[in-house]
Structure formats: structure tokens, C-alpha cells
């Protein structure tokens, strides 16, 4: 027998902290790529929230009906894949999309004698996320082995943290969008722990084999476990959105759900209102988009309530269900018989993780402004909740917005331009705000030029689209194209007189009561001025001329 056979024997009694600790990996079926999420980061939350409501208004009514009698209790486990350069315990590169099985070494392949060494960045990201989620940090934590057998797990165990996670006991604050009822919520965070990812299994429909790519084996993850504080699909989806937002603000992950960089498993039970004990908990996997989280939960609430109503509550069993996007329903994946026995024990190959208070303090000092703080600050600036949620959703948009107002632009005007024409342009062109040719400086100039009357709003829009497409400066463009607004009343009056005299028929109709024709005249004059006439002055002078009795 090998000499390392009994190399380490370490036993530990772990209290049962609840089944959240006895979860299974989320990468069971490789159907991660079928989400329908958008690729334009600027609109992600908006669009997914729209798609959440759109197709099922009648169903929501049914759900409201159910929720008069039953309460749903929902908790979420979120796996955040970290955007480090290397894996958690070896120097293999952590690079999504590399050629299969090229980012491998003896450590992540689980070869005998290879020893893991923890990546300092993983600890840093763990502390960042722990602090951002208002958690207490464990100045001493440790790694444990979680043992299970699966072909994408070369070592036969996953290095994770079991009874002493790096962070625990936090919370997250968020705002529910108005279209879902609005309101502010606080959800508890049970814990955040460090662990490694498994490889990726690809299951062919044909053939009697599966394929495994181990590039992802050993890639660092942070698992965030929430308290069972959510009560609806919308709350759960907003919670997941906020996790993505925080991960992106912190720069610890790209949070991309299609690539599997952000994975959410939902635990849900329902109970008759007034009942103290929880109902039987069902786990839902394969949730590749925020809309899927919301819909899967609403479906599951309806399914379980129906069983209750039919007196078949005993048919609600502890199981894992999969969300089927095509059929818009959950289906049984496997029933659980008792708690899984992962035979956790402390990882003998890694020392404890020790954080000094100075280290924690330095990370705390380096944290960016977080989404919640940003939202509260934007709200205090007088922006509406809709504006606040849009601008704070994406940190790059927020930075742009702040740069524009930093150049002196009025807050509400800056918000309107960014959320209106600019957002539409970016969406059409599939660009991110960072790729845009219009600099914050020029947007501020543009807003100022309209506000001080140098150019009209209409010309402003034209300049905006020019700058978006080609770049350049507002001043340069105004000069080059001679776009300065005409504010000289005498000059405008000349044009008014000319247009009125050239349209005697329309003038007659106007004077006999068809006052809507004012718009026609205004349009003609504006055209003559090449859009440069000050609209207020134009209309004032035009009305005088039209209503003048000869």
C-alpha cells in the first residue's frame, strides 16, 4: 500500500447547519447557453425585467390569488466565478473559451503528489465581496474537502470551505423597480465562501458518452448563500441582479450568466399563511437568466399551491428540479433521499487562511461606491427611481453619467440624454458606453449649448447623432455647420413675414378658425431657418402675425 495512504486523518464533527450546506454542484446539465439574455450590458437589467412581466399578465393575477393563501419562502445560492488570471490553487490560466483541456497541470488534474497553493487574489476578492455584502469576516478560516464522484472532478473532491467560511452574517439592500410594485428590501446573507469550480461536461444527444473539458476545473468561485428572505420570483430575480451588479462594481467577476460566470440555484418552499414551520423545500437549477429565476419561482409556487389545494401536499418532496426554458416549467431532475453525504473534512494540503485587520481595513478603504450607496446618492440628487435604477445599474453608465455632471451639466438633463437617445443608439449599435465616441465633456457642452440658447434642442439632437457616429466637439460642429441658433427677433420676423405672405390660402383657413395650421407655418419657417430659429421666439412672432387684423 502507498505510504501516503493514511497520510492525513482528520475528523471533525460538523453541526448540521441546514441543507444549504449540503447542496450539489450547479453544473449538472450543460444547457447553460440557452438563456435569452441580451448582450448589451447597458440594458441588461431593464430588458430582462421587461421580459419578466410581458408574457404573463393573466398568470400574475392567478399568482396574486394564490399568494392570498400561501407564502413562498425562497433562498438563493449564487456562484460567482472570479475574474482572476489564474486558477484558485495552481498557476494555470483562468481564461474562458480556451481550447479544451489546455489549461491544465498536475494540481488541477489531481495527479498524485501535486500540492495546491492558494491564489492571493481569491482571498482579496473574497474579502471584497464579503465587505460589500456587509458580512463579518473570519480572520482565520480554512478549506475543506467536499467529496463526490463525477467525471468533471478530477481529484474526487472539491476544495471548498465548510464550517468556517471567509465571510458570514451580512445583508444586501436593493430597490424593486416600480413596474414590479417598487419598494426597498433587505435580504440576509448567510455566508460567502471560497471554493473551486469543476470542469465542464458536455452531453451529446447522440452517442453513449459525454465529453469533459477540464479548463474550468480549479477556477475560483465565491459562493454566496442568502437567508431564506425572499417571497416572490421578482424579489429573487432582483436579488440575483444585485449580486451581478455588486460583482461587476467590485470587479471580481464579469457576472456573465451565459458563460456560467454567475449561477443561481434557488431553494423554494411554500406554506399556508399563518403556519410557522416551513414547507418541503425544492431546489431549482438551470436558471440562466434573471427572467428564468422569476418565472421558475412563480411556476413552482403555482405547482406547489395546486398540490396543497388538492390535498396532495405529500407529493411535494425534497428534490432538485430543472427549469425548462422552452416549456416554461420545472421538471424533476432527481429526488433526494436523505442528506447527501459529502464527508467533509479539513483540507490537509492547505494552511488556514489568515487575514490581518490591516489587510481587511486596506481592502475596505479601496472599495468603490457600491450600487446601494450610489442609488441613495442619485435619489438625493432629485432623480426619479426609474432614473436612479437605470443609471446605477451598470457601473460604466454610472461613471459616464457622473463624468457628465462633473463637467457641470444639469443632473436631470444629463440623465435624460443618457437614458434616451444615447441608450437607444448604444442598443442599436450593440455598443457599450465605453466604446462611444461622444465624450462626457462634449455631452456636457451640448447640454449647456442648448440650455443657454446657442443651439435649439432639435439641432442639439442632430449634433448628438453626429458626435455619436463620428466624434468631434460640439463647438467645432456648431462653427463648422453654422448651427448657432437665431435669436434675433428682427431676423425671425423677416422669415415669418415671408412664409405667411407666400401661403395666402393657409392664412385664410387659419383666420377662419383652422388654428392648427400654426404648426404648418412654424414648420415652414423652421425649415427656412435650417432649424436654427429659436422656437419660442418663432412661435411668438408667428402668432402675432397670424392673428394680426388688417
Partner 1 sequence: MATRALLAVISASPSRCFISSSRIKIQSSVSSLSLNFQQHSRKIHRIARSYSSDTDSSLLQPPDVSRLAETARISLTPAEIEECETKIRRVIDWFGQLQQVDVNSVEPAIRAEMDGGNLREDSPETFENRDSIRASIPSFEEAYLKVPKILNKE
User: 3-state class of 417 per DSSP?
Assistant: helix
Cα-based angle 3, 116, 170 (whole degrees, multiple of 5): 125
Q: Could you tell me whether strands 319-324 and 282-287 are parallel, antiparallel, or unpaired per DSSP bridges?
A: parallel
In whole angstroms, how close is the CB of 405 to Zn ion at the nearest point? 46
- The H or E element that residue 159 is part of is strand 157-160
Q: Does residue number 362 form part of the binding site for partner 1 (CB under 8 A)? A: no
For residue 304, give the 3-state DSSP assignment: helix
Binding mask 176-205 for partner 1 (x = CB under 8 A): -------------------------xxx--
Q: Which of 86, 288, 534, 539 binds partner 1 (CB under 8 A)?
A: 86
Q: Answer yes or no whether residue 9 interacts with partner 1 by CB under 8 A.
A: yes
Residues forming a β-bridge with 268: 74, 282
Closest CB 264 distance from partner 1, rounded Å:
18
**Residues 310-349: x where in contact with partner 1 by CB under 8 A, - otherwise, as a string:** -----------------------xx------x-x-xx-x-
Kind and range of the H or E element at 479?
helix 474-480
| Separation between Cα atoms, residue 538 and residue 522, nearest integer Å | 7
Q: Which is nearer to partner 1, 77 or 242 (CB)?
A: 77
Residue 470 CB, nearest approach to Zn ion (Å): 47
Distance of CA 16 to the CA centre of its chain: 33
As measured in angstroms, the least distance from the Cβ of 83 to Zn ion is: 17
Helix H, strand E, coil C: the string for 318-387 is: CEEEEEECCCCEEEEEEECCCCCCCCCEECCCCCCEECCHHHHHHHHHHCCCCHHHHHHHHHHCCCCHHH
Burial class (CB in 10 A: 0-12, 13-18, 19+), 535: middle
Q: Which is nearer to Zn ion, 160 or 288 (CB)?
A: 160
Nearer to partner 1, 346 or 531 (CB): 346
Binding mask 117-146 for partner 1 (x = CB under 8 A): xxxxx-x----------------xxx--x-
**Would you count residue 437 as binding partner 1 (CB under 8 A)?**
no
**Residues in touch with Zn ion (CB under 5 A):** 90, 92, 105, 107-108
| Site residue total, partner 1 (CB under 8 A) | 76
Binding of residue 147 to partner 1 (CB under 8 A):
yes
- In 3D space, the residue among 200, 221, 205 whose CA is nearest the CA of residue 81 turns out to be 221
CB of 108 to Zn ion, least distance (A): 3
Q: Does 526 bind partner 1 (CB under 8 A)?
A: no
Q: Is 79 a binder of partner 1 (CB under 8 A)?
A: no
Contact between 251 and partner 1 by CB under 8 A: the answer reads no
Nearer Cβ to partner 1 (99/550): 99
Amino acid at each position: 500500500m502507498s505510504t501516503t495512504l493514511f497520510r492525513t486523518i482528520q475528523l471533525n464533527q460538523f453541526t448540521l447547519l441546514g441543507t444549504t450546506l449540503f447542496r450539489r454542484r450547479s453544473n449538472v446539465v450543460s444547457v447553460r447557453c440557452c438563456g435569452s439574455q441580451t448582450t448589451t450590458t447597458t440594458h441588461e437589467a431593464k430588458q430582462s425585467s421587461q421580459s419578466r412581466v410581458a408574457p404573463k399578465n393573466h398568470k400574475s393575477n392567478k399568482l396574486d390569488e394564490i399568494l392570498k393563501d400561501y407564502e413562498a419562502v425562497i433562498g438563493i445560492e449564487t456562484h460567482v466565478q472570479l475574474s482572476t488570471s489564474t486558477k484558485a490553487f495552481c498557476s494555470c490560466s483562468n481564461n474562458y473559451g480556451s481550447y479544451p483541456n489546455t489549461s491544465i497541470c498536475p494540481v488541477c488534474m489531481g495527479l498524485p503528489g501535486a500540492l495546491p497553493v492558494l491564489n492571493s487574489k481569491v482571498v482579496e476578492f473574497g474579502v471584497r465581496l464579503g465587505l460589500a455584502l456587509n458580512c463579518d469576516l473570519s480572520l482565520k478560516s480554512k478549506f475543506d474537502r467536499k467529496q463526490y464522484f463525477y467525471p468533471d472532478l478530477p481529484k474526487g473532491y472539491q476544495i471548498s470551505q465548510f464550517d468556517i467560511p471567509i465571510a458570514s452574517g451580512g445583508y444586501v439592500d436593493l430597490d424593486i423597480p416600480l413596474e414590479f410594485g417598487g419598494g426597498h428590501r433587505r435580504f440576509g446573507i448567510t455566508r460567502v465562501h471560497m471554493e473551486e469550480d469543476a470542469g465542464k461536461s458536455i452531453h451529446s444527444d447522440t452517442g453513449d458518452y459525454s465529453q469533459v473539458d477540464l479548463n474550468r476545473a480549479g477556477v475560483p468561485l465565491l459562493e454566496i448563500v442568502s437567508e431564506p428572505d425572499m417571497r416572490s420570483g421578482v424579489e429573487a430575480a432582483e436579488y440575483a441582479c444585485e449580486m451581478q451588479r455588486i460583482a461587476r462594481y467590485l470587479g471580481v467577476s464579469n457576472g456573465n450568466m451565459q458563460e456560467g460566470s454567475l449561477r443561481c440555484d434557488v431553494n423554494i418552499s411554500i406554506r399556508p399563511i399563518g403556519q410557522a414551520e416551513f414547507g418541503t423545500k425544492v431546489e431549482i437549477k438551470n436558471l440562466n437568466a434573471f427572467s428564468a429565476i422569476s418565472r421558475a419561482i412563480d411556476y413552482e409556487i403555482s405547482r406547489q399551491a395546486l398540490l396543497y389545494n388538492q390535498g396532495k401536499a405529500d407529493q411535494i418532496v425534497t428534490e432538485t428540479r430543472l427549469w425548462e426554458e422552452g416549456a416554461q416549467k420545472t421538471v424533476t431532475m432527481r429526488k433526494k433521499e436523505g442528506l447527501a453525504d459529502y464527508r467533509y473534512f479539513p483540507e490537509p494540503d492547505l494552511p488556514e487562511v489568515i487575514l490581518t485587520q490591516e489587510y481587511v481595513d486596506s481592502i475596505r478603504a479601496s472599495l468603490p461606491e457600491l450600487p446601494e450607496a450610489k442609488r441613495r446618492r442619485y435619489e438625493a440628487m432629485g432623480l426619479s427611481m426609474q432614473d436612479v435604477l437605470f443609471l446605477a445599474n451598470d457601473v460604466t453608465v454610472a461613471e459616464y453619467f457622473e463624468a457628465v455632471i462633473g463637467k457641470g451639466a444639469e443632473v436631470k438633463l444629463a440623465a435624460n440624454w443618457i437614458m434616451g437617445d444615447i441608450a437607444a443608439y448604444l442598443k442599436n449599435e450593440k455598443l457599450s458606453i465605453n466604446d462611444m465616441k461622444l465624450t462626457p465633456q462634449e455631452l456636457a457642452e451640448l447640454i449647456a449649448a442648448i440650455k443657454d440658447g446657442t443651439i435649439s434642442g432639435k439641432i442639439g439632437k442632430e449634433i448628438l447623432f453626429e458626435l455619436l457616429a463620428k466624434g468631434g466637439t460640439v463647438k467645432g460642429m456648431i462653427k463648422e455647420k453654422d448651427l448657432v441658433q437665431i435669436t434675433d427677433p428682427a431676423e425671425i420676423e423677416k422669415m415669418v413675414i415671408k412664409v405667411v405672405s407666400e401661403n395666402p390660402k393657409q392664412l385664410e383657413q387659419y383666420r377662419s378658425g383652422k388654428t392648427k395650421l400654426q404648426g404648418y407655418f412654424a414648420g415652414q419657417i423652421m425649415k427656412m431657418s435650417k432649424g436654427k430659429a429659436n422656437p419660442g421666439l418663432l412661435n411668438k412672432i408667428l402668432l402675432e402675425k397670424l392673428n394680426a387684423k388688417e
